[in-house]
Amino acid sequence: MITYLENSKQFQLDTDNSSYVMQVRDGFLLHIYYGERLNVTDHSYMRWEQGRAAFSCRLEGCQGFILDDTPLEYPCFGRGDLRSPALEIINPDGTNICDLRYVSHKIIGGKPGLPGLPAFYVEEGDRASTLVITLRDNISLVECDLYYTVFEDYNIISRHTVIRNCGEKPCHIKAAASACVDFDHMDFEVISNYGTHCRERMIERFRLNHGKFELASRRGSSGHVHNPFLILASPTADEDHGEFYGDLLVYSGSHAITAEGTQYNACRLLAGLNPDGFSWKLEQNGEFTTPEAVLCYTDKGLTSLSHIYNKAINDRLIRGKYKNARRPVLLNSWEACYFSFDEARLLKIGKCAADLGIELLVIDDGWFGKRNTDNCSLGDWVIDRKKLPNGLDNIYKMLKENNCGLGIWFEPEMVSPDSDLYRAHPDWCLHIENRPRSEGRHQLMLNLSRPEVCDYLYDSIAKILDSGMISYVKWDFNRNMAEVGSEVLPPDRQGEVSHRYYLGLYSLLERLTQSFPEVLFESCSGGGGRFDAGMLYYMPQTWTSDNSDAIERLKIQYGTSLVYPMSAISAHVSASPNHQTAHVTDFATRFTVAFTGSFGYELDPTSLSEEEKLLVAKSAELYKKYGYVLVTGDYYRLKTNYEEDCAAWCAVSQDRAVCVAGYVNTHVRLYDKNQHIRLKGLDKDTAYKDIFTGQTYSGAQLMGFGLPVKITLEYRSQMWILEKA
């Protein structure tokens, strides 16, 4: 619900559990409150008063406040607010001052889309409405439309900004955040994430200090290092109690989310495009739309914040056939055979997989061009007839006869210098004239800001998919941007290339996913290097990490689950010893960890013992029956190996009739106390039966005393599936 109070010039935005209040004062749009839902709408007493100056300037006409300590909804550079700006404009005269004042507002039902950008959406019947507030600099004639969409049922508020040049001369945007929230205190702890390839989304929690903490990427992708979400927590808050604020950016490129502790002990939270290396030229009447940021508040703990984001992403970001649907159990060929395969080997692997109940065989890298190593052929999306003399026909036919689908790997955004495409179009890659072209993994990046490049990729991929044989695509992206330039853009537009790249990518993905709605697309970037809400709009799941080791995956999947739903987390059972870490883990542990996501296998089934094959068949059967609990249920983090020598979790179906729980020992201490894993989310008055042992428990027992852990060995696990008796 959105309410405007004319007397106090205040806006109140209400979800079921939160309120967000703003006020127009002396022309400025001030932030007043964001937190627990307010059951009244008269907030006339809630005024920002500030008498301190501390070398800061007072603006004429501003009574009782100075910009440097006033909570603003969209602060600008150059007028006296010396904190980090949401907007910085380079005016036609070369100055960078901007002074946005309130002009008008409107309230509309539903939510408008963001042209060319991924975004959360509304469906018919949703309790959702949008407030659009227009601000203007009356000298430069730059206007900003601030969009606030209130998803009442989902307890989120989405924000984006449209910047418009109403002047006669061009200006340049230097920084453009999607959202700003100014808090009147800085009594927060920051929950941040960091990582690298094969170690994504490690979690850190620390006190917000004075100065600026920045979680950012300059890589031309959301990256392995800092995923585009940040959480602020009250200092004593934990999984089940306390206040949490979330800020999630719906974008896949270079980003910046900052939390700034100010000289007056306040906090500014900013999220949007990374301003480093960015600029955007606005001609007369030109417009620029920022990516979307999604805000969330809860006073019921971190689990509550996760549930809010998880459900909103599942219901109002992910689209298509696989929205809220169990994904097929797949086997990927990469760790089974890498580049070393031919038709005969794939037929053997595929037949064995199908016999074990696997529903999809994915042919990973190596099926095209002359691709026997990673140093050639990217861009030449033509089947290698030496490896596959019959194309995909024989493999597809065999799989279909055995009720198994066929998937395939692409890395469309890249080009190998040793490729027919590069020899024909060396100008199609990102590069700067007269400078060397840096290769990463022996490849260059195509310039997707050029429409002809996107058209070529669409035609090449569509030619493969038009065969009707492919039901799954793994879309990879294996390097970062460098030499970000485009010879088709003039010098004063070179700062636009990185963002235009993503507009091109999003357009390409929209065309492909709309043209082939039956195909399941999975995003990948050396694992989780582009695991973000922007990609999930087009592809409902992401290969979470190239590290498939079960023990390493515990922290990776823990960090990912803070915001992203388990339906989006691709998790596979791989070989033992693991190919990345050489850890030796038993099948049960590998299965227990992989079961928590979109489930599959990353191994050669023909090399397994008969006992292991029976375990594969049984695990596939279990996921087919109970995988929906991970897709649509509520996920609870019970223990974490950040704090203990174990990890434990459970997922509970929406009707609370089924619970899947897991526990893994990560370190053994002699004479340690016996563990009891207390579950969450159950109906205390319901009786639950363990399908493996037949033991029956009450929900109250399971949540009060818990399940006894009977394992004592390192890297061993225990799994429970509990059904309503």
Q: Which positions are catalytic? A: 476, 546
Following DSSP, what letter does each residue of 323-381 receive, concatenated? TTSPPPPEEESHHHHTT---HHHHHHHHHHHHHTT--EEEE-S-SBTT-SSTTS-TT--
First to last CA, the chain: 41
Distance CA 452, CA 466 (A): 20
Distance CA 511, CA 506 (A): 9
Type and span of the H or E element at 291? none
Gyration radius of the chain's alpha carbons: 27
Cα 431 to Cα 445, 447, 503, distances in angstroms: 9, 8, 18
Nearest to 455 by CA among 408, 416, 512: 512
Per the listing, tokens 């993503």 go with 502
DSSP classification of residue 92: T
Nearest to 285 by CA among 420, 169, 444, 133: 169
Distance CA 46, CA 8 (A): 10
Name all contacts of 491-494 with Cβ < 8 Å and 24+ positions apart. Answer: 492/172, 492/281, 493/281
Q: Please, are residues 122 and 113 in contact by the beta-carbon 8 Å criterion?
A: no
Which residues face 270 on adjacent strands?
180, 258
Q: Which two tokens stand for residue 162?
A: 């449209």
Q: Letter for the amino acid at 80?
A: G
> Helices (H) and strands (E) in the chain — how many of each?
12, 38
